[in-house]
Amino acid sequence: MVMRQAIGMLRGRATVPLLLALAGCNQQQSALVPFGEEAAVLRHLTVVMVAGAVVIALALAALMAWAVRAPEGRLGLRGGERLILVAGGVLPTVLLLGLLAYSLPAMRPRAVAPADLRIAVTGEQFWWRVQYEPAGAAPVTSANEIRIPVGRTVLLHLEGRDVVHSFWIPGLAGKTDMIPGRRNVMAVRATRAGLFRGQCTEFCGLSHALMAFDVVAMPAAEFDRWLAAERQPAVAPAGAGKALFLANGCGGCHAIRGTGAAGAIGPDLSHLGGRTTIAAGMLRPTEANIAAFVRHPERFKPGVRMPAFPQMSEAEARAIARYLKGLK
Amino acid sequence: MIERLRARARSLNVTLWTLIVPPTVWAAHFLFSYLWAAIRCAKTGSFSTAPGVFWACTILALLVILASGWIARVQSRTPGDHPPHEEGTETDRLRFLAYATMLLAGLSFVGVLFTAAPVLFLSDCR
């Protein structure tokens, strides 16, 4: 019995560091696995600060252990006062000032040029409106996925539309609130290509936790090609899907470039087939998932603004899904 | 000169009210820093590269804290009976309040410095 308790306690103690270590397994959405310069600076600062805190905590523990064991009167009045002055006043001030001076340069904002790509991201319940605004060219609208060129400075213009959201791509940079009526600007630079993830980090309603997005960092030349293609009207596949999409009034809220659908209430669907997820980072973009979401979005996103279409047959939903999936 | 100042400082009385002067100056400077940055950014759209007003106010805050700390220091050394000063007398209460004020002045001085430091590194309103 005692043995079992001892093993249980040991196991309990081992769990904490193991759980902490598990944080290192996440490659897509982790501030510990940076793919941008800002996040790398933040991770570095975190490591330095935590190491500093551990050293101070250990020194304090050692001092306490010594104080408990030392014979009474060991220091004397003057010695005690000096210890309090040095260990309680001077040392913390110097250490904190040092850490502050060390961390302050990280506050210096990244220099930006007028030619840098701007991406306006608007948080809405419960999805992300994304607009690419390259210098000297018309903007390109997309949604629920952000693509950025590696090695180039990108300006993110962040705003909320209905309530306060918060924009966080842990691997790229720090967290910034999206506040209605106020534009927060963040300058970032990705350092390596890959598929990453961001998440809303300010409670914004029923589906707050289901409001995420994929981030695709791509080599600059590839990004330019992608943006040029994204600008074009969608190439629609053959089939009854398009007619059904328009007949059901989907175009009242959603836009698909090159069709009559020009709604601006919901996410732009122009190149939905090229996206890595649907429903703001929640579902794999399969035809079955799209069809299920079209008929009953509330089953996947409680509180969603999009109405349900229960009257739509499975076959019709499938046809719309095939059409949307084919929009490349 | 110093002797005269010291005599003047001794004639003042540290009370619970003067005890809160240094932290109040610190709080006021803290509030001022945020308001200054917010108003400047809202009105001009750019962060000042040579923020004279800000540094003037910072130096003023530091001077007030220094002065109140120095007055407190003088009063905490009010001569009289031997330590420990732990009796319920007027003099011991004065020494205690003055000593506490002096420590608070030290903390507030560092606090104001810490508050002001970021301005050295910020260069725009983002």
> Mind giving me the DSSP string for A198-216?
EEE-S--STTGGG-EEEEE
Put simply, the answer to whether B126 touches A187 (Cβ < 8 Å) is: yes
Q: How far is CA A289 from CA A49, A281, A296, A322, B20, in A?
A: 44, 12, 10, 11, 64
**A104 CA to chain B: closest CA distance, Å?**
6
Q: Does A155 score more than 80 pLDDT?
A: yes
**B85 CA to chain A: closest CA distance, Å?**
14
Per-residue confidence (pLDDT) for residue A143, from 0 to 100: 93
Provide the token pair at A60.
């304090």
Closest-CA residue of A relative to B109 is A93
Q: Does A1 score more than 70 pLDDT?
A: no
Closest-CA residue of B relative to A106 is B121
User: CB neighbours (10 Å) of residue A310?
Assistant: 7
Give ipTM to 2 decimals.
0.72
pLDDT per residue over A310-327, tens digit each?
999 999 999 999 999 988
Q: Does A2 score more than 60 pLDDT?
A: no
A96 in B contact zone (CB under 8 Å): yes
Put simply, the answer to whether A89 touches B106 (Cβ < 8 Å) is: yes
Report the distance separating Cα B60 and Cα B50, nearest Å. 17
pLDDT per residue over A196-206, tens digit each?
999 999 999 99
* Percent of chain A residues past pLDDT 70, beyond the cut: 93
A167 upstream amide cis, omega within 30 of 0: no
Class of domain A241-325: mainly beta
Taking Cα atoms as reference points, which of A120, A198, A197, A123 lies closest to residue A156? A120
A91 in B contact zone (CB under 8 Å): no
B84 upstream amide cis, omega within 30 of 0: yes
**A187 CA to chain B: closest CA distance, Å?**
9
Lowest mean pLDDT among A42-46, B2-6, B13-17, B82-86: B82-86
B34 in A contact zone (CB under 8 Å): no
Specify the 3-state DSSP secondary structure of A180: strand
List the end-to-end C-alpha distance of chain A, in Å, as a whole number. 64
* In chain B, where the domains are located: 15-42+49-120
* Residue of B104, B107, B126 to mutate when probing chain A, most A C-beta within 10 A: B126
Put simply, the answer to whether A97 touches B114 (Cβ < 8 Å) is: yes
Put simply, the answer to whether B117 touches A104 (Cβ < 8 Å) is: yes
A100 in B contact zone (CB under 8 Å): yes
The residues near A195 (Cβ < 8 Å, ≥ 6 apart) are A28, A214, A215, A216, A276
Q: Which of residues 65-94 of B touch A (CB under 8 A)?
A: none
Question: Strand A194-200 and strand A165-168: pairing?
Answer: antiparallel
Class of domain A117-230: mainly beta
User: CB neighbours (10 Å) of residue A233?
Assistant: 12
Cβ contacts of A101 on chain B, cutoff 8 Å: 117
Give me the residue from A93, A109, A187 closest to B110, CB to CB: A93
Per-residue confidence (pLDDT) for residue A238, from 0 to 100: 79
pLDDT confidence band for B81 (50 / 70 / 90): confident
**B118 CA to chain A: closest CA distance, Å?**
6
Are A109 and A207 in contact by the 8 Å Cβ rule? The answer is no
Q: Does B77 score more than 60 pLDDT?
A: yes
Q: Does B38 score more than 60 pLDDT?
A: yes
Give me the residue from B106, B114, B121 closest to A105, CB to CB: B121
Cβ contacts of A107 on chain B, cutoff 8 Å: 118, 121-122
Cβ contacts of A89 on chain B, cutoff 8 Å: 106
Per-residue confidence (pLDDT) for residue A319, from 0 to 100: 92
Lowest mean pLDDT among A192-196, A231-235, B57-61, B76-80: B76-80
Q: Does B123 score more than 80 pLDDT?
A: no
Cβ contacts of A96 on chain B, cutoff 8 Å: 114
- What is the location of CATH 2.60.40.420 in chain A? 117-230, 241-325
Q: Does A76 score more than 70 pLDDT?
A: yes
A76 in B contact zone (CB under 8 Å): no
Put simply, the answer to whether B118 touches A96 (Cβ < 8 Å) is: no
Report the distance separating Cα A234 and Cα A212, nearest Å. 24
